[in-house]
Amino acid sequence: MSRMIREHGWYIQFVMGDERERKTSIAYTIGMFGFGHPELVALGLDPGDASALLNEVGRRVKAGGNLIAGELLEFDAWAHRVTVEEIPNPGAIVFGANRHYRRPDEASVPALQLTYDDREGRFPWEPGYSGSRWIQPRPGEYTA
């Protein structure tokens, strides 16, 4: 992992979900904090889609971008839009990042959730959202 961070700037940690238990998959970066930026978290995506999203947004951060809560991101190669949301409980999610930066969970590195819209362009908090709410829970409503 440390070699990957040195070479590319970040590593992606994937935590497999469990559909029977309605526990979503979680993917997050380890390394954004080294750029002075919160780590990035994506929920409910398979490893390929999660990696594509986190790598694209990671490249934006590495190039000098600074994401803020409420920002809307669009992509040329992905049909979804993403809203950036602050995570109030990062210490319960980004365990690998905290280990890497030698921080206790109660003094966690900060993290931002990248919440994507459904096929109709609606986000989980909007009426008519067609996705399963357990797949993209609201920030603060889940742990790893």
Tell me the per-residue pLDDT of 85-132, one tens digit each, with 9 for 90 and over.
999 999 999 999 999 999 998 999 999 999 999 999 999 999 999 988
Band of residue 29 on the pLDDT scale cut at 50, 70, 90: very high
Is the per-residue pLDDT at 1 higher than 90?
no
In whole numbers, what is the pLDDT of the chain averaged over residues?
95
Cα separation, 37 vs 67, in Å, equals: 8
Three-class secondary structure of residue 99 per DSSP: helix
Is the per-residue pLDDT at 4 higher than 90?
no
Token pair of 13, please? 């940690």
